[in-house]
Structure 1
Amino acid sequence: MNEQQESRWSLSHTGNRVLLAVVAGALIACLCGGTDLPLAIQLVILLVVGGATYGLVTLLHRSRR
């Protein structure tokens, strides 16, 4: 594999970054599920954590170039 080909498992692929964001958001939402937070708040937490994870990973990937 030469330098121009990247692994399909790298975070340069948008789908991988989205998957990472969904997993991170779901993990935090599951942790919040044990609390007495309403479902709406848990969904907001899932979206915020997922969005922040995607944005951070995308930002870090672009800064490496």
Structure 2
Amino acid sequence: MTQQHESRWSLAHTGNRVLLAVAAGVLIACLCGGSDLPVAVQIVILLAVGGVTYALVTLLHRSRR
């Protein structure tokens, strides 16, 4: 049996999952930036969305194995 290599662009790589999570967090934070939310709340939203996105993508990737 030969071992199949994952594409470096797939979500199998931790760096790609982190990049996706950061992009999702920044997108949501920018959308919240148009509102009158304080900066501290926007940062918390960015971190929360990024963390949830990373966890969700990681769980979905592991369940496919």
TM-score category (smaller protein): over 0.9
Alignment deviations for residues 35-57 of structure 1 (CA, whole Å, 9 cap, x no partner): 00000000000000000000000
CA apart distance, 1:3: 5.7
Aligned equivalents of 1:25, 1:61: Cα separation in 2: 19
Aligned equivalents of 1:44, 1:5: Cα separation in 2: 37
TM-score normalised by structure 1 residue count: 0.95
Aligned equivalents of 1:27, 1:54: Cα separation in 2: 14
TM-score normalised by structure 2 residue count: 0.95
The runs of 5 or more residues in structure 2 that have no matched partner are none
CA root-mean-square deviation: 1.1
Aligned equivalents of 1:60, 1:14: Cα separation in 2: 13
The runs of 5 or more residues in structure 1 that have no matched partner are none
Q: Which residue of 2 aligns with 1:61?
A: 61
Aligned sequence identity (%) = 80
